[in-house]
């Protein structure tokens, strides 16, 4: 059993919970997810089965789109509503749509972001959330991320009694982006504490929310011996690569790791190529400027 399942992860489950449940449903150990979602976040979680686990890095490298909301006027330990409130600064009046839009614009483009303490990033061999749960704070190196767009839906809703303002947003960003940290950074741009209130992943690995299936759907498909209608091919993770179909002679060479010239593949030295045989993507080859050849980068199947 090989392929990709565009799973809808429900709130309340960890990404590993989903992997564990699918291992049980599918009766296979070779299952991996392509990008952690916090328990309080729902949405698209591509799951790779069998040899498709080899394309996990390529799924993770794709951009992601999220929809959610940020609440201004308070902060928590975890940067979302799962944590303990550590600061309150009641707003006397709401920020205008122009003010919040300008703050979001300042967080758009290629920026530096410091991973939150409640995250799985490792420092000195330990995950940051392990330090956080022990009440410790450690220095974290900032990462370069890209926020393609940070769209806010107007000025949102102002709660005069609580002194908070909640604004809906949609974000398109690169891998490694912590959206809850962006919510906190939005507050910092406005000079107030902030917290991510809700979050749904709309797109990941080329899959959209409308393409997802639930754990119950997978279980039903297995019971009806129809799992193939849910599994997507490995090639779904490689759609952005130029594809070259191999004849039998070239396939024999490729599956033995032979280097190939640009002429043999009828290419003008594209940086990377997805090579297919009989309609199935078998591997990625990359161009070596030094050797003037295509060389194996990643093999997905050799038969």
Provide CB contacts within 8 A for 253, sequence distance 6+. 260
> Hey, is 203 helix, strand or coil?
strand
CA dihedral 11, 228, 219, 238 (to 10 degrees): -20
What is the sign, positive or negative, of the torsion defined by CA atoms of 219, 224, 228, 230? negative
Q: Is-catalytic flag, 38?
A: yes
d(CA 105, CA 279): 44
Catalytic choice (17, 38, 185, 225): 38
Which residue is it, tokens 């565009």?
Answer: 6
- Are 179 and 80 spatial neighbours (Cβ–Cβ below 8 Å)? no
Region for 146 from its dihedrals, namely left if φ exceeds 0, alpha if ψ lies in -120 to 50, beta otherwise: beta
Catalytic residues: 38
């Amino acid at each position: 059993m090989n392929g990709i399942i565009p799973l809808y992860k429900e709130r309340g489950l960890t990404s590993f919970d989903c992997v564990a449940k699918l291992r049980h449903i599918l009766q296979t150990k070779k299952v991996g997810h392509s990008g952690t979602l916090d328990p309080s976040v729902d949405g698209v979680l591509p799951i790779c089965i069998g040899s498709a686990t080899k394309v996990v890095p390529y799924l993770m490298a794709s951009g992601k789109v999220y929809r959610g909301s940020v609440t201004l006027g308070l902060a928590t330990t975890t940067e979302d509503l799962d944590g303990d409130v550590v600061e309150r600064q009641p707003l006397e009046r709401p920020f205008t749509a122009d003010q919040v839009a300008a703050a979001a614009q300042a967080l758009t483009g290629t920026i530096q972001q410091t991973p939150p303490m409640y995250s799985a990033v490792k420092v000195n061999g330990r995950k940051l959330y392990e330090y956080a749960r022990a009440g410790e704070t450690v220095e974290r190196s900032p990462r370069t991320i890209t926020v393609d767009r940070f769209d806010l839906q107007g000025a949102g809703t102002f709660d005069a009694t609580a002194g908070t303002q909640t604004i809906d947003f949609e974000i398109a960003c690169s891998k490694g982006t912590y959206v809850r940290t962006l919510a906190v950074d939005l507050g910092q741009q406005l000079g107030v504490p902030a917290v991510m209130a809700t979050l749904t992943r709309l797109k990941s690995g080329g899959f959209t929310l409308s393409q997802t299936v639930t754990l119950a759907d997978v279980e039903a498909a297995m019971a009806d011996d129809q799992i193939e209608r849910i599994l997507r091919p490995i090639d779904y993770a490689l759609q952005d690569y130029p594809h070259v179909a191999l004849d039998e002679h070239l396939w024999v060479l490729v599956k033995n790791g032979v280097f190939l010239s640009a002429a043999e593949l009828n290419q003008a030295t594209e940086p990377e190529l997805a090579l297919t045989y009989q309609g199935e993507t078998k591997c990625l080859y990359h161009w070596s400027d030094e050797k003037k050849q295509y060389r194996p980068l990643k093999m997905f199947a050799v038969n």
